[in-house]
Amino acid sequence: MSRKPYLRPITSEWIFRHQRYLRYMVREFSCLFIGGWTLMMVWGLKQLAQGPEAWAAFLQFLATPASIVFHLLTLAFSIYHSVTWFNLTPKALPVQRGEEFVPDAVISGAHFALWGVISLAVLALAGAF
């Protein structure tokens, strides 16, 4: 009897096989928006360095409907990425006190709290209050 193992080919169908894979791909996909937004900020800095006219043009561009839609999408994707990521922190950073592990909610909760504090500090620095 001869052996002839058959390896089934992998197709991109796996992404849609279960919700978990789709959720994962959405998390990975969020980097395109966050990366794009970051590049836009670098471009904004360059415009700022070039003088008041270039800066005004940049601000005008930010106010266009396409830019606002892009910003809303980027906000949604970055919140999705941050929330799913912080929910995973108890797996990466388990803390054992005596025999018991600190509950997951405490570890992810600490991350959410720190996120909130830093966001408020950034908003305060930007003069939002």
Partner 1 sequence: MKTYQLDVLRYNPETDREPHFQRYSVPCREEWVVLDALNHVKESIDPTLSYRWSCHMAVCGSCGMMINGEPKLACKSFLREYEGVIRIEPLRHFPIERDLVTVIDDFVAKLARVKPYLIPKEATSPEAGEFRQTPAQLKRYKQFTLCINCMLCYAACPEYGLIPQYLGPAAIALGHRWNEDSRDAGRAARQEELAAKEGAWECSFVGACSEVCPEHVDPAAAIQQVKIKSTVDWYAAHLMPWLNK
The residues of the shown chain that bind partner 1, judged by CB under 8 A, are 1-8, 10, 14, 17-18, 20-21, 24, 28, 88, 91-94, 96, 98-101
Q: Rounded to the nearest whole angstrom, what is the least distance from the CB of residue 108 to partner 1 in the complex? A: 13
User: In the complex with partner 1, which residue's Cβ is closer, 28 or 75?
Assistant: 28
**What is the Cα 2 distance to its own chain's centre?**
51
Q: Rounded to the nearest whole angstrom, what is the least distance from the CB of residue 6 to partner 1 in the complex? A: 5
User: In the complex with partner 1, which residue's Cβ is closer, 20 or 41?
Assistant: 20
Beta-carbon-side half-sphere exposure of residue 78 (alpha carbons within 13 Å): 13
Q: Report the length, in residues, of the chain.
A: 129
Residue 90 CB-density burial (10 A; 0-12 exposed, 13-18 middle, 19+ buried): buried
